[in-house]
Amino acid sequence: MVSKIIKKILRLISLELAVCITVFVLITLSPIDPVQSYVGAGVAVSPEQRENIAEYWGLNSSLEDRFLSWGKSILKGDFGTSLIYRRPVISVIYEKFASSIALMGTAWILSSLIGYSLGIIMGVNQDKPLDRIIKSICILLSSTPTFWVGLLVLIVFSVNLGWFPIGLSVPSGILSSEVRLIDKIYHMILPALTLSLTSFAAVALHTREKVITVLESDYVLFAKARGESQMEIIQGHLIRNTIIPTITMQFASFSELFGGSVLVEQVFSYPGLGQAAVQAGLRSDIPLLLGIAIFSALFVFLGNFIADLVYGLVDPKIKEI
């Protein structure tokens, strides 16, 4: 057990190192001028001012020196200061992730419930019209870009019907201390719904196949022969044999969930970690982008790790954690 945990830690370290090097090199080679991004678009700066800004942020050093200097600071727990927010990177990530985790958590629960329920319905009604209709909808949604679904939902429910706000996570024009929990939930409904709509299809299709396999098993055929009703079979056999694989799949889909939240937050102007990552990339905020990259890699790794643990408990044949 100890050796397996050590292997997982080594994999995490190698993953984080690869992510840091890749992101650092890509953003350094980006054509975006970090100095101009720092002072703002359309703001003229003299060569002396540009040199001072570059020296202050260490932008005039070589690529290797900057990466090694940043790496040493990371080992000390210092992720640097964000060029955009003028605050410590850890503070920015903590604030933005608090909004993102509420959005992703709600979407994760919704996609699990919707996907699992539809999967049960499709499997029980295999090859019937209801199964074909739901299956077609799932395939359509799984192949539709997240941002397009978000725009469509925004146009219908916010612009045309006016049921929900167009964007942001709280009402504009009021102090943060005056924001109520109901206001935050109200602003989060559409982004969470959009994110769940683009992620429940895989759960539904996966559950459908599991349900069909269970229904064709010998013990279900024996249950039918004993006269058990369809509801008794669903409660006593289907749910018990399909719920854990679905949960395992959901934990393993953290990367898709995080990637989808980036697009959803952009469409709805939701101030979460995904939107901060986009802004950091567009404005060459290297410290913030690297910090988010490290944190997101850890987030996805933990999701896969939990999925491995759950799957190992379900199937004792699995030797790895």
On whether the pTM is more than 0.75, the answer is no
Q: Is residue 283 over pLDDT 80?
A: no
Average pLDDT value for residue range 45-50: 72
In this prediction, residue 320 carries a pLDDT of 47
In this prediction, residue 176 carries a pLDDT of 64
In this prediction, residue 184 carries a pLDDT of 79
Least confident of 3-7, 100-104, 157-161: 3-7
pLDDT in tens, 68-120: 877 788 888 888 888 788 888 888 888 888 888 888 888 888 888 888 888 88
pLDDT band at 124 (very low <50, low <70, confident <90, very high): confident
In this prediction, residue 38 carries a pLDDT of 64
Q: Which amino acid is at 264?
A: V
In this prediction, residue 321 carries a pLDDT of 43
pLDDT in tens, 255-273: 778 888 888 888 888 888 8
Q: Which amino acid is at 12?
A: L
Average pLDDT value for residue range 134-148: 85
Q: Is residue 177 over pLDDT 80?
A: no
Q: Is residue 291 over pLDDT 80?
A: yes
> How far apart (Å, rounded) are the C-alpha atoms in residues 179 and 189?
16
> How far apart (Å, rounded) are the C-alpha atoms in residues 221 and 233?
10
More confident residue, 176 or 217: 217
In this prediction, residue 293 carries a pLDDT of 85
Is the dihedral angle over the CA atoms 295, 299, 305, 308 positive or is it negative?
negative
pLDDT band at 316 (very low <50, low <70, confident <90, very high): low
Q: Is residue 218 over pLDDT 50?
A: yes
In this prediction, residue 133 carries a pLDDT of 92
Q: Is residue 317 over pLDDT 60?
A: no
More confident residue, 289 or 244: 289
CATH superfamily of 99-282: MetI-like (1.10.3720.10)
pLDDT band at 18 (very low <50, low <70, confident <90, very high): confident
Residue 51 near residue 60 (C-beta atoms within 8 A): yes
More confident residue, 277 or 318: 277
Q: Is residue 174 over pLDDT 80?
A: no
Mean confidence (pLDDT) of the chain: 79
Residue 234 near residue 120 (C-beta atoms within 8 A): yes
Q: At what angle do helices 200-215 and 129-142 cross, to 10 degrees?
A: 140
More confident residue, 236 or 155: 155
| Burial bucket for residue 121 (CB in 10 Å: 0-12, 13-18, 19+) | middle
Residue 114 near residue 206 (C-beta atoms within 8 A): no
More confident residue, 152 or 217: 152
